Amino acid sequence: MSINNSMNKFSLFTFILILHHYYEIEVDAFQKWTYNDQKSWSDVSKECDDINQSPINIRYTDLIFNESLKIEFRNYNQPSANFRATNHGRSVQFDYIGNSILVPTITGSALNDEEFALEQFHFHWGIDPKIGSEHRINGHIYPIEVSMHLIHYNNKKYRSYNQALDARNGNVAVLAIFFNINKNDNDYNPGFDIISKKIQQLQTTHTNHSIDLQDQLILQLLLPNNTASFYRYHGSVTTPPCTSNVTWLIMDDPNEIEFNQYEKFLNVIDHKSGKKIGNNFRRLQEPNGRRIECSFLNNNAGGGSGDNHPHHKNSVNITMVIIFTLIIVDIVAFLTISKIYMFK
């Protein structure tokens, strides 16, 4: 009896020891990935080598126009202080901590009319303002850019963002917004002030410590003026575990912030390494024949990959019509002149 008891105790102890050790390995692996060594991400999560990964370069030549795509924004114009800001050591993140009635949501045909509630938003930026965005639009990296992701989950089906992320049928939507640095002081973005004030506070806040927003943020002011023009494709979250069940909605029009506001990002420090946070973007992933749709007739489409001088597919058609018309005019002119000469 007593031998059995001791054996049971021993087994339990071994189990706890192994579990604890296993947990440590998992936590270590998740904590240790870096933006400098992205090839090792698949050691942390095999899914990082999956074929449907993000970010991608959205090439104009790959676009499929889908005029039925619409996004409806709800509670984006409601001022709310229900956010908690955290310096995670790799980015700064704003978690929504308010109630489910006033939670900002998106829905519409772009999301099969299902409602997605805001969980958090965070930023990717470059230490050099020529880089920063994760996605590229036809090879274009926003020259001085902060890109913002708003992560939504289907709160009707799932109780938490992590539960939705674990599900494998596209229950997470990410809204991406590019930011340019404004050189014109007249176009000041007051909506971003609350964010940049918090980011300044996060410069001295210890990694993983959170601070409440306090001021009233209107999310609408972080969106570009035109929210009708966007791209949609299915991809993944852009950090380990790289879960590939994300509907990406990427705004075509960038928003703008002042250089002073952008500078606040440059002085946020990862207190564990003592280094400034920045260049926190994942390298481009292969589109692998995925369907990439746009909600608008893209005037710049048809330019090929990485081309900063794109041409429009429609403009090619217009050119053809003009050339054809000129040929007809030439033929008519030739025949007319020929007749005049013949009659002479």
* Interface segment toward Zn ion; rule CB under 5 A; list 148-156, 185-193, 292-300, 319-327: 148-156
CA atoms of 168 and 336, how far apart (whole Å): 70
| Encoded amino acid at 295, one letter | S
CB-wise, 149 or 313, nearer to Zn ion? 149
* Interface segment toward Zn ion; rule CB under 5 A; list 14-22, 149-157, 198-206, 209-217: 149-157
Residue 125: partners with Cβ closer than 8 Å, 6 or more residues away: 132, 145, 146, 147, 262, 265, 266, 278, 279, 280
DSSP code per residue over 283-321: PP---TT--EEESS--TT-S--TT-SS---HHHHHHHHH
Give the contact letters, 89-128, x = binds to Zn ion (CB under 5 A), - = no.
Answer: ----------------------------------------
CB-wise, 133 or 171, nearer to Zn ion? 133
CA atoms of 150 and 201, how far apart (whole Å): 21
Q: 149-173: string of b/e by CB count within 10 Å (b at 16+)? A: bbbbbbbeebeebeebbeeeebbbb
* Interface segment toward Zn ion; rule CB under 5 A; list 141-149, 250-258, 268-276, 282-290: 141-149
CB-wise, 35 or 158, nearer to Zn ion? 35
Under the binding rule (CB under 5 A), the answer on residue 140 touching Zn ion is no
DSSP code per residue over 110-159: GGTT--EEEEEEEEEE-SSTT---SSEETTBPPTT-EEEEEEEE-TTT-S
Query: Could you tell me how far CA 63 lies from the centroid of its own chain?
Result: 18
* Interface segment toward Zn ion; rule CB under 5 A; list 39-47, 147-155, 180-188, 227-235: 147-155
Residue 127: partners with Cβ closer than 8 Å, 6 or more residues away: 266, 276, 278, 279
* Interface segment toward Zn ion; rule CB under 5 A; list 1-9, 142-150, 264-272, 296-304: 142-150
Under the binding rule (CB under 5 A), the answer on residue 264 touching Zn ion is no
| Encoded amino acid at 310, one letter | P
Under the binding rule (CB under 5 A), the answer on residue 136 touching Zn ion is no
| Least Å from the CB of residue 50 to Zn ion | 17
Count residues binding Zn ion (CB under 5 A): 1
| Least Å from the CB of residue 4 to Zn ion | 53
| Least Å from the CB of residue 147 to Zn ion | 8
CA atoms of 64 and 266, how far apart (whole Å): 37
**Nearest residue to Zn ion, scored by beta-carbon proximity:** 149
Q: Which of 59, 136, 149, 198 binds Zn ion (CB under 5 A)?
A: 149
CB-wise, 207 or 315, nearer to Zn ion? 207
* Interface segment toward Zn ion; rule CB under 5 A; list 146-154, 195-203, 213-221, 274-282: 146-154
| Least Å from the CB of residue 55 to Zn ion | 9
Under the binding rule (CB under 5 A), the answer on residue 152 touching Zn ion is no
Q: What is the largest CA-CA distance in the chain?
A: 129
Q: Which residues are at the interface with Zn ion (CB under 5 A)?
A: 149
